[in-house]
Structure 1
């Protein structure tokens, strides 16, 4: 047998070690642990399915994708640590984060680290407004914004509950305060003045003092700017303590955990959310694939899936994973996706976003009949 010595041996060994496909690293980042972990699971599952399909079809520019998972627990400090880790791990794209309070600080790190970011779920306008003001053109989202969502809810209340005594509650987060304030703007513009505007802590468990204040003010409609955990506790405790109020929340209620935490008290709770992609007949085969994998694709699952798919299509079009090249490709055309046509403006926001009003009944949010 012929032996290979020295540099020739090293070269031969190196060639044997090269995989058939070099790997491109991308990330999915969100609250994989903590009280909002249900949303992290939605995002992770969506990204995993997209990567599985992309790799089965040959990858991106002939290279397979490797998915990195980042857990920020919806904490801004942890989000910056996740973003720095994505940079050090040489990811070129991140589908994340979930909470606006995580996406906003992470976006600066991704810009410096040359990572393109598409959030499936962060709705605060500040994310893309500030990014563009700083010259960061590599931030996108596959969801709408709070100014659209808040206007939708405000106009719905003006039309259907014009005499309501409204309490606006918000959890002080960029998301919760942002969507509450946008709803307040719409209500005030339409001539309705809220009776109460109060902040709460998202870690609170006992809302008796707040409920007593709402009882004194005879509140019959709560606008809840915050996440499903506090929303479930507030509506459940309100009903238990004799406050016959309705509640309208936003997209952060869209998880089965809302019903699990609030039980029958969640019946009748209103919520804004984009048209549900999992109910679209064109996605029947995709939804079946998720369910065959023992996961029900609720909430932002398909928005995460769409974010990864759109990035991959744009990278193939650009024949590059360079963030500037992919960003230009994303803005150059409309991408057909599981969540509908995706066309991005200069800020990286989707054009013509739509929010619908849903009502919770027996553990599922259904389109409102009003």
Structure 2
């Protein structure tokens, strides 16, 4: 018997089911329509044409319920069924209820690719919300493109996606509601300058997210007049490693004023704990990013012998949410969950909304048709709407819309990117996370 996390964040025992099946079952219980079985054969046609259900739109989610990004992913997961529930309460899409098929990508590219293949070729979804980890999306997006199923990521921020989209790799089947890391890297560099730092070092997870962020940060900080003291020998840690003493020592060597640490939670907490245990953190400002912005991360890193949190006063950046729909979404989330939405939750809501709205605009539940309409519902011209149900109603009557989301205006450019502002967060005395300001990237 395994324990899995359901879309509302609680743990429960599931006998005989795989993790992905258990998550899908739990998510399906939150929708107002039952999932229909896949068509005979299940797989897409040899030419890669996407499948579509004659019984309504199917939306897949590919997010981390387990693995290194699960502390953030578990709350993101909950936004997808909430959007589906909201849409179904106001009549669904194309006159029929929407069905959710949820998969746990385990923060693992191999597991994510397998789950994406299931969503596209067996479940035959019309669109997928995901993934969060850039490494997972990098692997899974090729499956999506091959099957003509659009992916809308609420959090894969690597600049690699912009580069690949510009080369035509995605054919319009990729978009994201969180801005790419070249913006966040510039924002973190600006924050370092604003805090008066001139000599910093970097330590990053050795994947698309970490290395892409590192390169952009180095370029941005140098442009602002700063020096990255380990630029010629960057510290990059293996995400599959279990000890990080050497990497911690390298990152904090030569007395930097600050260390820009681009981490995932489980591995990153071990690295920073090692730095503390080696006595390397005294007098050094730890600067973090979105990958560890959760209430759990300071607890994972741990406390000092006198009970203080090791990460107290660490600062970081995270894509902020400042969209026209944010107030209404926050109110709904608080009514349902009893707290304010966490990092990337508004972005997940918007990613799901765009798929539903694009399907209604296309008057089709087919992935190819949905992909063709994503930018139409996200961008001007069209009547600005913040309410998804209002948008669906206008689209059903033949009108154009310009969806204004909770995370931002979600205007998608030719590469599927959005531009955003960034919140500055800190670890408080009690180990909690607090937003203490905003910073705009100096591009």
Q: Does 1:180 align with 2:214?
A: yes
Contact 2:69/2:133, CA 8 A, preserved across alignment: no
CA distance in 1, matches of 2:201, 2:253: 12
Change over 3 Å in CA distance of 1:360–1:277 after alignment to 2: farther
Alignment of 1:37-48 (within 5 A): 37-48=70-81
Contact 1:269/1:360, CA 8 A, preserved across alignment: yes
SS at match of 1:84: helix
Of the candidates 356, 372, 375, which is equivalent to residue 312 of structure 1? 356
Deviation for aligned residue 1:344? 0.8
Alignment of 1:1-370 (within 5 A): 22-87=55-120, 88-132=122-166, 133-134=168-169, 136-164=171-199, 166-196=200-230, 197-213=234-250, 216-243=253-280, 244=282, 245-263=284-302, 264-276=309-321, 281-292=327-338, 297-332=341-376, 333=379, 334-350=402-418, 352-361=419-428, 362-368=431-437
CA distance in 2, matches of 1:55, 1:107: 28
Contact 1:24/1:66, CA 8 A, preserved across alignment: yes
Provide, for residues 240-291 of structure 1, a one-character-per-residue CA deviation record: whole Å limited to 9, x for no partner: 4322121112111122221221241122111111224699544342221331
Contact 2:63/2:131, CA 8 A, preserved across alignment: yes
Change over 3 Å in CA distance of 1:309–1:240 after alignment to 2: same
CA distance in 1, matches of 2:375, 2:253: 52
Contact 1:101/1:175, CA 8 A, preserved across alignment: yes
C-alpha RMSD of matched pairs (Å): 2.5
CA distance in 1, matches of 2:355, 2:251: 46
CA distance in 1, matches of 2:432, 2:235: 28
Change over 3 Å in CA distance of 1:291–1:204 after alignment to 2: same
Deviation for aligned residue 1:323? 3.3
Provide, for residues 23-60 of structure 1, a one-character-per-residue CA deviation record: whole Å limited to 9, x for no partner: 32211102222232223312320111111111111111
CA distance in 2, matches of 1:156, 1:273: 12
SS at match of 1:140: strand
Unmatched segments (≥5 aa) in structure 2: 1-35, 38-53, 303-308, 380-401
Deviation for aligned residue 1:172? 0.7
CA distance in 1, matches of 2:170, 2:87: 31
Deviation for aligned residue 1:234? 3.1
Unmatched segments (≥5 aa) in structure 1: 1-17
Corresponding pairs, count: 348
Change over 3 Å in CA distance of 1:203–1:111 after alignment to 2: closer
Change over 3 Å in CA distance of 1:285–1:266 after alignment to 2: same
Change over 3 Å in CA distance of 1:211–1:102 after alignment to 2: closer
CA distance in 1, matches of 2:171, 2:107: 23
